[in-house]
Amino acid sequence: MKVVVNPKYEHFREWITSIPACFFSTGDVIYDARNQIRHTTINGVSVCIKRFHTPYFVNRIIYSFFRMSKAKRAYQNALTLIERNIATPDPIAYILCGNGLLQESYLITIESALKRNFYEFGDGIVTGKEDILRAFAHYTAQAHEAQLYHLDYSPGNILFDKIQGTWRFELIDINRMEINTVVNMKKGCKNFARLWGRADLHKIIAKEYALIRGFDIEQCQKLVLRAREKFWKKRPHPFFTYD
């Protein structure tokens, strides 16, 4: 078993090391699908533990010898985001288990204080929420300018809430990211394709994103809508209103 602990949380090491043995009896389940996420409290600190599913045999070989595991990538990406002032839950540690080949892995993070996510825009209503979308465009532009590009920029991976009068955002599920990549207008606009909602949501975001990055507003909106159409035509969804 390999345990890597963020130096800030070294005092949690003994508890962290015990996680594989007691994961399924720890805390409360908050997500249970391919992977499972549990919430618990340790010494008064709210944390989330994500257990990645056991990879298929070929992937066990790949993750053991040729490619970084998802848990390690998510941990390292979180450190990079925070270093570049892009908010994400603070990483505590990651754990890799297996005898020769990767069997299971865990990511432990601080629980986010942000309680809302972009699924709420699936109802198509943006009236009264325009300030959220403009603030989100700023957050995204900041990430892109920092050469960070989330490859699964979907509603459930974007948390937000108003903290002390300011809209705050955090990215989660960050094991799939491009780091140190130049994000031009076309690439940046494509990043918004997976968001749920009508075209007016994407237009508001695209306009603000263009203003921040110095892009042509009309061209930026066209690129965002084109990427949206291409993505959603192949993936009809009951919560998505296609215009």
The pLDDT value given to residue 125 = 83
For the segment 49-62, the average pLDDT, to the nearest whole number, is 72
As a whole number of angstroms, the distance between CA 54 and CA 237 comes to 29
Full-prediction pTM beyond 0.85? yes
Compute how many other C-beta atoms are within 10 angstroms of the C-beta atom of residue 161: 16
The pLDDT value given to residue 26 = 95
Find all residues with CB under 8 Å of 203, minimum gap 6, and list them: 221, 224, 225
Using pLDDT thresholds of 50, 70 and 90, give the confidence band for residue 60.
Answer: low
CB 108 within 8 A of CB 89: no
Using pLDDT thresholds of 50, 70 and 90, give the confidence band for residue 123.
Answer: confident
Using pLDDT thresholds of 50, 70 and 90, give the confidence band for residue 64.
Answer: low
Pick the more confident residue, 57 or 96.
96
Least confident residue range of 92-101, 105-114, 191-200, 206-215: 92-101
Compute how many other C-beta atoms are within 10 angstroms of the C-beta atom of residue 241: 15
Pick the more confident residue, 187 or 62.
187
Does the structure show a pLDDT above 90 at 146? Answer: yes
Q: What is the mean pLDDT of the chain?
A: 91
CB 60 within 8 A of CB 103: yes
Give pLDDT tens digits for 204-237.
999 999 999 999 999 999 999 999 989 988 777 6
For the segment 4-16, the average pLDDT, to the nearest whole number, is 97
The pLDDT value given to residue 65 = 57
The pLDDT value given to residue 237 = 66
